[in-house]
Amino acid sequence: MTDTTWLIEVDGGTCIGSGICAGTAPDHFTVENGTSRPARRRTEPADRVLDAAESCPVEAITVRDEGTGEVIAPEP
Q: Is 43 helix (H, G, I), strand (E, B) or coil?
A: strand
* Global pTM value: 0.92
Residue 3: predicted pLDDT? 82
Query: pLDDT tens across 27-55, in order?
Result: 999 999 999 999 999 999 999 999 999 99
The CATH class, in words, for 6-73 is alpha beta
Main-chain dihedrals φ then ψ at residue 66, nearest 5 degrees? -60, -35
Which of 13-27 are b and which e, b meaning 16 or more Cβ less than 10 Å from the residue's Cβ?
Answer: eebebbebbbebbee
Residue 76: predicted pLDDT? 78
Residue 1: band (very low, low, confident or very high) from pLDDT cuts 50, 70, 90: low
Please give the full DSSP string across 10-33, using - where no structure is assigned. E-TTT-----HHHHH-TTTEEEET
